[in-house]
Amino acid sequence: MRKKLTRRALWLGVVATALMPVLLPKPVAADEGSWPDLRSELYGERFLGTSADVISIDVPYRTTNDARTDVTVRMAAPEGHTFKGMKLILDENPMPVSAQLAFAGPLADFEFAATMRVNGPTPVHAVAELDNGQLFVAESFIKTSGQGACAAPPGTDPVEALKTLGQMELVVRPLNDTASLVRHLRKGSSNDLALDVEISHPSHSGMQRDQVSLLYIPARYVETLQIDLNGSPFVTMTGSISLSENPQVTLSVPSGTRRVRAKLTDSDGTVSEAERDLTDY
């Protein structure tokens, strides 16, 4: 009888164990991580509205490459309003405010995308400011492999990278995202082209080691990227170490654009420019 009870107890133990929930690592929730302090430091007590119709973020559920992850922000102002600017914040990155956009003139809608370093699992916030000062925020979350992209070795030799540092290729193409096109049509917007700015820059984070000397490589990254359209200022992006090595930045631009000029200044003060006349659009 004792042997039967022992087997029954073991069987019940196995079943109970199988039915127990698997305890997985809990993601960093925005209200448990850096966001409350970041929000307070950046915006104080100002109210942040939420509306997916006004601002949304598109990120992968999990990165396939922590050092180069596409992040897209889509914005469409409420009727009668326009945008002044936007901040992209990767909460747990060493330099959380990862990209800031300042618009030279009011924009009713806009799209921004960039290849970013994601240092570890993190909430992502995008905060846009309207012409009347109202703030709108969108939130998402990125899971990563946890390899620490900001400290990962550079993909190219630091000396060789200097030879092409600052070179840019400007590519203009139709918007190819259905959701984007629907949003632009609904807003009656003419911003139906995408400008890809492909930048050659090592974007050193200051946390990487030279693989030969094992010394830290000094930080050097894209500090500002100014875009002019048809001879007039359009938008200025302030970057950070969160931009990937050789980053690509994509901006929506009006279909009437005939000339694009980009001016890049990096954190060492190096200035480079690129210009393109558009004959096909």
- Domain residue spans of the chain: 25-277
More confident residue, 20 or 49: 49
- pLDDT for 183 beyond 80: no
CATH code, residues 25-277 = 2.60.40.2470
Residue ranges in the chain assigned as alpha helix (H): 2-19, 35-43, 158-161, 178-187
State the Cα–Cα distance between residues 213 and 87, nearest whole angstrom.
Answer: 37
Band of residue 152 on the pLDDT scale cut at 50, 70, 90: confident
Residues of the chain with pLDDT > 90, as a percent, come to 69
Closest C-alpha among 52, 55, 54, 88 to residue 70:
88
Higher pLDDT, 203 or 19: 203
Which residues are 276's β-sheet partners? 260
Which of 137-151, 239-253, 262-276 is predicted least confidently?
137-151
Residue 6's pLDDT is what?
A: 44
Quick one: pLDDT band at residue 186, thresholds 50, 70, 90? low
The average pLDDT across 159-167 equals 89
- Nearest partner of 115 among 247, 281, 278, judged by Cα: 247
Burial class of residue 82 in the structure, from the number of CB atoms within 10 Å of its CB (0-12 exposed, 13-18 middle, 19+ buried): middle
- Non-local (6+) Cβ contacts of 256 within 8 A are 190, 230
Residue 115 in this model has a pLDDT that exceeds 60: yes
Q: Which of 23, 13, 86 minimizes the C-alpha distance to 55?
A: 86
Residues 35 and 124: beta-carbon distance below 8 Å: no
pLDDT tens digits, 122-146: 999 999 999 999 999 999 999 998 7
Pairing of strands 222-229, 83-90: unpaired
